[in-house]
Amino acid sequence: MSVPFFDIHYRLDPEDRAEILERWGNVLDHGGFIGGPEIGELEEKLSSAFNLGEVVACSNGSDALVLALKAVGVRPGDEVVVPAFTFFATAGAIARIGAIPVFADVEMSSYLMSTESAVSKVTDKTSAIMTVHLFGRQAPVAPLAESVLAATGRAIPILEDAAQSIGSVGAEGDCGALGIASGFSCFPTKNLGAAGDAGFSATRDPDIAERMRSLRNHGGENYIHKEVGFNFRMDPLQAAFLLHQLPKLAVFQALRIEAASHYRKLVLEAGLMDWVICPEDAEGHIFHQYVIQSENRDALKLHLESLGVGSAIYYPVPLHLQPCFSELGGRAGDLPGCEALAERVLALPIHPGVTPEQREEVVSGIASFYS
């Protein structure tokens, strides 16, 4: 039995297809191809579904982070502390506005930014910290802010990269509603995925929201530009698709959580705990990815591939060692947690279409590798 790492069709059965086509037909009928009514409706529904305050729909999750950073006042030359073990766009967004990503280490058990490391990276030039709720797990926000305040005497704003954690309600509340502003991705493989690129920013501060809306549309209106913004508008066809998907999200999240506990059980039953570390089960974890750790990761991945089982490496090169950031002076050995994880992590198929039998296949593939 082959087990693809991801298959988009789990959320596109014939009934879905008919409903989506009807929504897309409505867009063709009203003709509001830029800023049509689906955008506002989606923003309202996302806000109330996830307690997000104001939501600003935009082109993708990377741009959502740019909007958030710029709207909270991060300026060229400012430093922004960010974990080095995350998707590139988290730091890319900082660099895109001329600010400087300053990389912090992560904890190997949670994959989340280490508060101690983040605090140690704060300098007089730090104007914000960007934390990441990686793989669907909530990263600490209030405890981080308190530690920074205690260590430096400064209340540094914390932004959240919630691209992978939509709908996760952890110990502190809703991901994306905890800091000054946040960015979410609706890339098709995300827990709430569009039929192409889409994303949104969120904030509880009306002034920041207003600036995000303005920046999304070239920083002005009626041909008067207060500042240089972007074209970061969301396509109403994507908004229509997301309006169809949103009510289904809770079921899909529950399926991911069930799949995660099934994987853990299977790994335990197969006696693989000496070889494989399963992700911790934290409050509100919605398992955007199910990322295990293994000493022989590359060989294990190849073995699974030979059995028709898909897996993926998120992320193989930590950001402080990326060629585009070499001028920042990052060296191997600087961030041991990120570097060790880059060699050990392997994501197993977790999307809601993976059946229990397929999960058994995945774990028996792992067992056959170690036997």
Percentage helix, strand, coil for the chain under 3-state DSSP, each rounded to 5: 45, 15, 40
Q: Rule CB under 6 A: is residue 60 a binding residue for ligand PLP?
A: yes
Among 43, 56, 85, 87, binds ligand PLP (CB under 6 A): 87
Q: Which listed range, 44-52, 81-89, 223-231, 297-305, lies at the site for ligand PLP (CB under 6 A)?
A: 81-89
Tell me how far, at minimum, the Cβ of 314 lies from ligand PLP, in Å.
8
Q: Rule CB under 6 A: is residue 318 a binding residue for ligand PLP?
A: no
Among residues 320, 317, 323, 325, the alpha carbon closest in space to that of 341 is found at 317
**Residues of span 185-244 touching ligand PLP by CB under 6 A:** 185, 187, 197, 199
Looking at residue 11, the DSSP 8-state letter turns out to be G
Q: Which listed range, 56-64, 107-115, 260-268, 335-343, lies at the site for ligand PLP (CB under 6 A)?
A: 56-64
Q: How many CA atoms lie within 13 A of 143 on its CB side?
A: 9
- Core vs surface per residue 29-61: b (16+ CB within 10 A) or e: eeeeeeebebbebbbebbbebbebbbbbbbbbb
Looking at residue 127, the DSSP 8-state letter turns out to be E
Q: Please answer whether residues 99 and 77 qualify as being in contact, where contact means their C-beta atoms are separated by less than 8 angstroms.
A: yes
Q: Which listed range, 20-28, 38-46, 122-130, 160-168, lies at the site for ligand PLP (CB under 6 A)?
A: 160-168
Q: Please answer whether residues 78 and 228 qualify as being in contact, where contact means their C-beta atoms are separated by less than 8 angstroms.
A: no
Q: Of 117 and 276, which CB lies nearer to ligand PLP in the complex structure? A: 117
- For every residue of 17-71, DSSP letters joined together read HHHHHHHHHHHHHH--TTT-HHHHHHHHHHHHHHT-SEEEEES-HHHHHHHHHHH
Q: Of 86 and 272, which CB lies nearer to ligand PLP in the complex structure? A: 86
Tell me how far, at minimum, the Cβ of 349 lies from ligand PLP, in Å.
17
Q: Which residue has the tokens 């908004």?
A: 239
Q: Rule CB under 6 A: is residue 78 a binding residue for ligand PLP?
A: no
Tell me how far, at minimum, the Cβ of 55 lies from ligand PLP, in Å.
15
Q: Please answer whether residues 233 and 38 qualify as being in contact, where contact means their C-beta atoms are separated by less than 8 angstroms.
A: no
Q: Of 186 and 300, which CB lies nearer to ligand PLP in the complex structure? A: 186
Q: How many CA atoms lie within 13 A of 308 on its CB side?
A: 6
Q: Of 86 and 293, which CB lies nearer to ligand PLP in the complex structure? A: 86
**Residues of span 97-136 touching ligand PLP by CB under 6 A:** 132
Tell me how far, at minimum, the Cβ of 297 lies from ligand PLP, in Å.
20
Tell me how far, at minimum, the Cβ of 365 lies from ligand PLP, in Å.
26
Q: Which listed range, 83-91, 137-145, 235-243, 300-308, lies at the site for ligand PLP (CB under 6 A)?
A: 83-91
Among 36, 54, 61, 321, binds ligand PLP (CB under 6 A): 61
- What is the rounded distance in angstroms from the CA atom of residue 371 to the CA atom of residue 359? 18
224: phi then psi, degrees, rounded to nearest 5: -110, 125
Q: Of 35 and 92, which CB lies nearer to ligand PLP in the complex structure? A: 92
Q: 224: which 2 tokens?
A: 């008067």
Among 3, 66, 128, 163, binds ligand PLP (CB under 6 A): 163
Inter-CA distances, 227 with 216, 219, 231, 272, Å: 11, 5, 13, 56
Q: Rule CB under 6 A: is residue 86 a binding residue for ligand PLP?
A: yes
Q: Which listed range, 30-38, 157-165, 264-272, 346-354, lies at the site for ligand PLP (CB under 6 A)?
A: 157-165
Among 105, 161, 235, 339, binds ligand PLP (CB under 6 A): 161
Binding interface with ligand PLP (CB under 6 A): 60-62, 86-87, 89-90, 132, 161, 163-164, 185, 187, 197, 199
